[in-house]
Amino acid sequence: MAEHVLVLGAGGFIGQHLLAALAKNGQAVIAVGRRPFPVVAECIEPVVADLREPADFLPLLARARAVVHLASLSTPGSSAGRPLAELDGNLRPTLALLEALQQHPLCHLLYVSSGGTLYGDTHGAPATERDRAWPKSYYGAGKAAAENFIAAWCSQCASSATIVRPSNVYGPGQTGHHGFAIIPHAMGRMLRDESLTIWGDGSAERDYLYIDDFVDLCLRILAAPRPGSTLALNAASGIDTRLNALLDQLELAAGRPLQRSYAPGRSVDVARIALDPALAQRLLGWTASTSLQEGLRRTWAWFSTTRP
């Protein structure tokens, strides 16, 4: 009997938080990661594998009522100048999954896309799910392509998929890399008393969403009736913050200064990303409840004691 939730990308930042929440609810989970990852409950069945062909997915899908697709091998910065990296690292496994799902049309797909890169620069009112995608990075273009393939699968197989477009998700457990995940990256620089390089003048605006709020939305989607086709939802706090203001807030949370240096902006960077989360609130009763100040305080408390 198909009763499991299949989580792809279970070893990542979001995956680990989602596993913990599913386990707390007693949900049986098949958790897939490319490398070994921590497992915290008996109801979680770990699978270490690189799934790339339809046949790789079939035995797992046969036991699943829903699949959560979190896996990704690139970032907006790492995809710059490398469009084939999106094809090989992200699109191919996703299309293999969709081909396998043709044999399991009743399995609900929850695909985590990217509101932060899909819409491009947003001017005026925050972007809604009805707005056209204008990605500036190959990473965002790959997400847009995946969304269209998912919509085609739903149409051809009378299947259901929920596409979630999160803003910048952050929180405890996230590690920073140069050009990606600005909050833990800045915290690492702060701990080491090093200067943080900022691309541009620091006026870029982003929406920052705390991990617990994002996981709450995922749980609501998995518990809700299948939408019957393709449903896209923005996941955001609804408050866009300039980068310089974010770093000021981070200094307050940490109680120490952050050295900053500024470099010319990059072509893949977006000046302003503002997302409207009203549809998720209307359909699922979801809203982000963690303020940026509180989220940064919790994240710093974890980061400063763990020091990844």
Residue 202, by phi and psi: left (phi above 0), alpha (psi -120 to 50) or beta? left
In whole angstroms, give the CA distance from residue 146 to residue 86: 10
Residue 254 CB partners (closer than 8 Å, separation 6+):
187, 190, 300, 304
pLDDT at 175: 87
pLDDT at 75: 63
Whether 110 maps to a domain, the answer reads yes
The stretches in the chain having pLDDT less than 70 are: 1, 74-81, 177-179, 307-308
Return the closest-CA partner of residue 90 out of 47, 132, 144, 156: 144
Helix (H) or strand (E) holding 146: helix 138-157
| DSSP class of 125 | S
Copy the structure tokens of residue 227: 């939408």
Whether 304 maps to a domain, the answer reads no
Whether 305 maps to a domain, the answer reads no
pLDDT at 303: 95
Domain count, the chain: 1
pLDDT at 108: 97
pLDDT at 262: 95
The model carries a pTM of 0.95
pLDDT at 270: 81
Q: Does residue 127 sit in helix, strand or coil?
A: strand
Whether 200 maps to a domain, the answer reads no
Burial label, 307 (beta-carbon count in 10 A; 0-12, 13-18, 19+): exposed
3-state secondary structure 22-77: HHHCCCCEEEEECCCCCCCCCCEEEEECCCCCHHHHHHHHCCEEEEEECCCCCCCC
Residue 105 CB partners (closer than 8 Å, separation 6+):
157, 158, 159
Whether 116 maps to a domain, the answer reads yes
pLDDT digits (tens, 9 = 90+) for 181-237: 899 999 999 999 999 999 999 999 999 999 999 999 999 999 999 888 999 999 999
pLDDT digits (tens, 9 = 90+) for 169-194: 999 999 876 567 899 999 999 999 99
Range of the domain at 84: 4-171+209-238+274-289
Whether 90 maps to a domain, the answer reads yes
In whole angstroms, give the CA distance from residue 181 to residue 297: 16
- CA of 209: how far to CAs of 59, 199, 294, in Å? 34, 21, 11
In CATH, what number is assigned to the domain containing residue 78?
3.40.50.720
Whether 123 maps to a domain, the answer reads yes
Give the sign of the dihedral formed by CA 285, CA 225, CA 116, CA 37: positive
pLDDT at 267: 76
**Radius of gyration, alpha carbons of the chain:** 19
Whether 308 maps to a domain, the answer reads no
pLDDT at 167: 96
pLDDT at 77: 56
Residue 24 CB partners (closer than 8 Å, separation 6+):
none
pLDDT at 69: 98
